[in-house]
Amino acid sequence: MQKIIKIIILFFFLFIIGIFYLGLTKDTNYSTSSLINKDTPEFKIISFDDSNFYTRDDLKKNNYTLINFWASWCAPCKIEHPILMKLSQKKKLMLLGINFKDKNLQAKTFLSDLGNPYDLLAKDKNGKQSVKFGIYGIPESILINKDLIIIKKFVGPLSVDDYNNIIKIIE
Amino acid sequence: MLSNLGNILLFLNVILSLSIIYTANRNLKISEVIDKKIYQLSLIQSTSIIICFFVLIAAFIVSDFSLITVYQNSHSLKPFFYKIAGTWGNHEGSLLLWAIILSIFSFLFLVYNKNHPNKFRLLTLIIQNILILGFLFFILFNSNPFSRISPIPSEGLGLNPILQDPALAIHPPLLYVGFVGASIYFSAAIASLITNYSEKSFSLSIKNWVLISWCFQTLGILVGSIWAYYELGWGGFWFWDPVENASLLPWFAMTALFHSLIVFEKRNLFYFWVIILCLITFTLSVTGTFLVRSGILNSVHTFASDPSRGIYILIFLSLMIFGSIFLLFQKYKKENYDLNRNSKETFILVNNWFMMFYLITVLLGTIYPIFTDALTDNKISVGPPFYNAIIFPVVVVFLIFMAIGPKAKWIKNKFENIRIYFFILIGAIGLNLVILFFFKSYTLLSNFIIISALFLIISSLMDIAKALKKNKLDFARIISHTSFGFLVLFIGLNDIFSVEKDYNIKLGETKKFENYSIQLQTLDLKNYKNYQAVIGKLEIKNINSNQINILNPEIRIYDKPKTLTYEAAIKTSLVKDYYLTMSNIDRSDYYNIKFQKKPLMAWIWISVIMIVIGGSLRLFSNAKNN
């Protein structure tokens, strides 16, 4: 019995050290390249005012859709907001905002103070829907086309370069 | 020149370590008396490594940019104080600090433990010097602070601005004394296993070292939290960040260790458990270093990370772990604990279970992301909800045990006055109801936490009264236990009564909420030596009492390196803190301000300081008794 325990302890530490070694040799940078050209996942997400649900079908109506994950508590979201406002003027692009783990009132204040760029606004109160899109920090944005193929994913606040990039793609 | 001098001193230290190992080993074979030469070598070793560190400090002071470390972490215009603090504010310099502490502890342990078997002392010295050698090789071949750069740059890159801070200047040295101090009882534990020195007196050889490292570790964690509170601008003081966790892990082990040592000293029980804790503590310290320095985890602390360092520390760590396990397996004998259910020994064992529970929880949360990343390609991060959900409910039970445990008697299975706890509990519940009734309601869990914290506080205070009567007062224990109760109480109340408001505000505009109004009165631009600052003047007015507070949050633009930081303005009083941060919004004349009212913040810090005072009192009384 004692021998078995000893072997288990030994393997336990070997396992941990092995994992540490694997972790070291892995690239720690978050890469989005694996998502490109993939199909948009199935989702059903409740609208911000609780009146209805949005699904993939809602995204087929437009040439391009930019799904933007944001929250009122997120400072970088404020930084990218002016760019979203500018993008909202483009007819070919639909903006779907997903309010992430936020309080309704604060989200409303955010939009009334800074402007509402979104054509569709949904909310993901506990962050479960966003997991399907591979979101783990906000802001993140995903650009998809009519066929629901992911064209680009932006991690962090949209920059002026990102804006120009999006414009180039949709025009 | 300084580079050569530093390198020579490092080599000298390698030679000194090797000769200490050699001499001590020979001494071990031929004689029972410790050769005077060993003392001398050990003293020279400590002195030369300190001089080596001063050489590095000198290089920072005179801005000798021929050294890569100075070039990367300093700048000729940096204030004098931060030039010095910059010495250990980077990976290479801080490793040198490790080596210093390893050497000094090695020397002091040798000098201050004359009553213990010489074989044990010599072997401890040998093991400690093997550790020192490991670190010296790491410094020399991977992270040499004296490496040169050519051509010599005319100016340095500067120190990360958020590190240019008084608290952060003392945070690493404090923490290192804790982290690295654990090395000496790691070495002593190995030596004790090899020489079969398992008598009660073994505990006397290490208990003060455990206490010293524990006090410094606690202070280091405190200073780090205070820094995070005012510098990171989130208004929190603990984020369950992987690196914060790394400093907490050895702390749990140390806390368990010095409680177990009490039993070992008194009853000669738990010998192997004490040894395991000694080994775990330093192993966790090195694991923490591995996690921070290798860049395997992302956190606010990974300012300097490099995988090649990781490999080196990992090899070092593996040798430590497998060496210890191998030795332990060879020497382990089953111990029979014949404990009475209500004896003091049992309660201390219970304390240890709790500590191990916290340790495993935090360890799991910290390294889980590495596992999922390495095995499944999924990146996840374990955040505060995990820790809060698992740790806090258990704290409730822990506090109750912490209140009752010290009253138990050694060996005996008897409790005096069980009924009194019932009254204390009623008192605690009553006080909790008072808070609930007069202020506001809070969650069920918060209720339990407040009640159990009050329970611990009241019963500790009653201990004082009782002990004063008998004239037998264990100040150290009472102060640290009571303060821990207060710490949990204040953290609980702070969490419950904190208010947070977020506004976008223009110059001259006023926002109102509850009985407060906030006005952004002016914005100033000021030039400082190493940065420019936009300073806001905001008036916080309590409409009921007409009390006015002016807060000046800053947006700082540092030149070297070019960085933007947001400095919180904090008004501290004994009752509450006002906490305000301001950030600019691009292409708009609005500023985003985040206002927080945080009650009893100062008392959280004071409680931790009191816990440390408790620990130091024990240290002093031990010193007096020896």
ipTM exceeds 0.95, yes or no: no
Residue B522 to residues B121, B549, B600, Cα–Cα distance (Å):
66, 14, 29
A-chain residue closest to B589, CA distance: A114
Residue A63 is inside which H or E element, if any? none
- Cα angle vertex B49, ends B43, B50, to 5°? 90
How many other β-carbons are positioned within 10 Å of the β-carbon of residue B436? 15
Q: Report the C-alpha gap between A127 and A105 in whole angstroms.
A: 18
Q: Report the C-alpha gap between B357 and B216 in whole angstroms.
A: 23
Site from A4, A17, A19, A20 to mutate, B interface, most B CB atoms within 10 angstroms: A20
Q: Enumerate residues 6+ apart whose C-beta is below 8 A from B264.
A: B200, B202, B203, B270, B271, B274
Chain A residues with at least one Cβ partner in B under 8 Å: 6, 9-10, 13, 16-17, 19-26, 28, 30, 72-73, 75, 78-79, 81-82, 106, 113-114, 136
Q: Give the pLDDT score at B303.
A: 45
Q: Pick from B295, B370, B502: which is nearest to A106 by CB?
A: B502
Cβ–Cβ below 8 Å for B381 and A136: yes
Cβ–Cβ below 8 Å for A10 and B310: no
Omega prior to B151 cis, within 30 of 0: yes
Encode pLDDT of B243-258 as tens digits: 889 999 999 999 999 9
Residues in chain B within 8 Å Cβ distance of A23: 296, 370, 373-374
**Beta strand segments in A1-92, E:** 44-46, 53-55, 64-70
Q: Give the pLDDT score at B8.
A: 95
Encode pLDDT of A108-129 as tens digits: 888 888 889 999 999 887 777 7
Q: Give the pLDDT score at B23.
A: 94
3-class SS of residue A123: strand
Residues in chain B within 8 Å Cβ distance of A20: 290, 296, 310, 314, 370
CA–CA min distance B162, chain A (Å): 18
Asked if pLDDT for residue A29 goes beyond 60, the answer is no
Q: Report the C-alpha gap between A24 and B19 in whole angstroms.
A: 35
Q: Give the pLDDT score at B256.
A: 96
CB-count exposure of residue B327 (10 Å: 0-12, 13-18, 19+): middle
pTM equals 0.81
Q: Give the pLDDT score at B379.
A: 64
Q: Which two tokens stand for residue B617?
A: 């009192």
Site from B292, B296, B500 to mutate, A interface, most A CB atoms within 10 angstroms: B296
Q: Give the pLDDT score at B208.
A: 93
| Ranges of chain B whose pLDDT falls below 50 | 300-304
Domain boundaries in chain B?
1-164, 499-602
Cβ–Cβ below 8 Å for B314 and A19: no
Q: Enumerate residues 6+ apart whose C-beta is below 8 A from B576.
A: B597, B598, B599, B600, B601
CA–CA min distance A61, chain B (Å): 32
Q: Pick from B374, B381, B588: which is nearest to A23 by CB?
A: B374
Encode pLDDT of A56-68 as tens digits: 888 888 889 999 9
Residues in chain A within 8 Å Cβ distance of B586: 79, 82
- Please, what is the end-to-end C-alpha distance for chain B in angstroms? 47
Residues in chain A within 8 Å Cβ distance of B381: 136
Q: Give the pLDDT score at A10.
A: 92
How many other β-carbons are positioned within 10 Å of the β-carbon of residue B206? 26
Asked if pLDDT for residue A33 goes beyond 80, the answer is no
Q: Give the pLDDT score at B306.
A: 64
A-chain residue closest to B582, CA distance: A75
Site from B290, B381, B585, B590 to mutate, A interface, most A CB atoms within 10 angstroms: B585
Domains within chain A, CATH numbers bracketed: 31-170 (3.40.30.10)
Cβ–Cβ below 8 Å for B322 and A13: yes
Site from B502, B505, B593 to mutate, A interface, most A CB atoms within 10 angstroms: B502
Q: Enumerate residues 6+ apart whose C-beta is below 8 A from B432.
A: B447, B450, B451, B454
Residue B165 to residues B84, B160, B168, B578, B593, Cα–Cα distance (Å):
12, 10, 5, 21, 23
Q: Enumerate residues 6+ apart whose C-beta is below 8 A from B466.
A: none
Q: Are B179 and B232 in contact (CB under 8 A)?
A: no
More confident call, A18 vs B302: A18
More confident call, B14 vs A167: B14
